[in-house]
A and B are shown apart, each in its own frame.
Chain A
Amino acid sequence: GAVVSQHPSWVICKSGTSVKIECRSLDFQATTMFWYRQFPKQSLMLMATSNEGSKATYEQGVEKDKFLINHASLTLSTLTVTSAHPEDSSFYICSASGARTGYNEQFFGPGTRLTVL
């Protein structure tokens, strides 16, 4: 199957600092990557969709200046939470799709737990 990794798996940071989360497709080329946010005991909320080499498309209500997404290669996308605050604490999950996986199927990373103190 297609494997997606995330790094780090968990991170704790101080309020006001920035945090970068990496999402990698290990064995396929991901033309599209997705970033989700999941609050405790809730469903996944799509934050943004990124296509390799182009700007990310953000969902309504998601601050693009706060959640910076870069998809510079076919195997790597990054999410940077800028000037993090406690309300940004959440579980962030990425997914990826490409020609090999089928564009309507997304493969999910293991998630990153962000805690902002």
Chain B
Amino acid sequence: AQSVTQLGSHVSVSEGALVLLRCNYSSSVPPYLFWYVQYPNQGLQLLLKYTTGATLVKGINGFEAEFKKSETSFHLTKPSAHMSDAAEYFCAVSDRDDKIIFGKGTRLHILP
């Protein structure tokens, strides 16, 4: 069975600092991996996804994530945080059927 673990339900970084949101997964087959962002009272927006090929994936808004099979990780990073990045971030995994399993989410706070 698939599962996703996001380390840290809340992460605070200063504006301009590096953002690192951690995600580890378990899957019995090579997974598809996703990061979504959710702003208050809104649906989810896809930041980036990994399916096959290059393990470093670039997404929208300057975010990127690296698929590390040996570590079963898919951490999300952004070199320089912006106030508008404050939101809830969800890591998710799919084992190639239709279903996506979400992690519990990490609330990102940006300090001025």
Q: Which residues of A contact B (CB under 8 A)?
A: 4, 6, 32, 34, 41-44, 46, 49, 91, 93, 95, 97, 103-111, 113
Contacts and interface: CB of A to CB of B under 8 A. Distances in A.
B30 to A, nearest CB: 12
B45 interface: yes
Interface string B98-112: 111111110100000
Interface of B: 32, 34, 36, 41-46, 49, 51, 90, 94, 96, 98-105, 107
B20 to A, nearest CB: 20
Contact of A43 (B41, B42, B90, B96): B90
B24 to A, nearest CB: 15
B99 A46 contact: yes
22 contacts: A34-B98, A34-B100, A43-B102, A43-B105, A44-B44, A44-B90, A44-B102, A46-B99, A46-B101, A49-B99, A97-B98, A104-B51, A104-B96, A105-B46, A106-B100, A108-B43, A108-B45, A110-B43, A111-B41, A111-B42, A111-B43, A113-B41
Given A43-B103, A44-B90, 15 more contacts: A32-B98, A43-B90, A43-B104, A43-B105, A46-B100, A46-B101, A49-B99, A93-B43, A97-B98, A104-B32, A104-B51, A104-B98, A107-B46, A108-B44, A108-B45
Contacts of A95: 44
A49 B51 CA distance: 22
Per CB-CB distance, the 5 closest pairs between chain A and chain B, nearest first, are: A108-B43, A108-B44, A110-B43, A43-B104, A43-B102
Q: What is the interface of chain A mostly: helix, strand, loop, or mixed?
A: strand
Contacts of B45: 108
Nearest to B103: A43
Contacts of A103: 98
A103 B46 CA distance: 15
Contacts of B41: 91, 111, 113
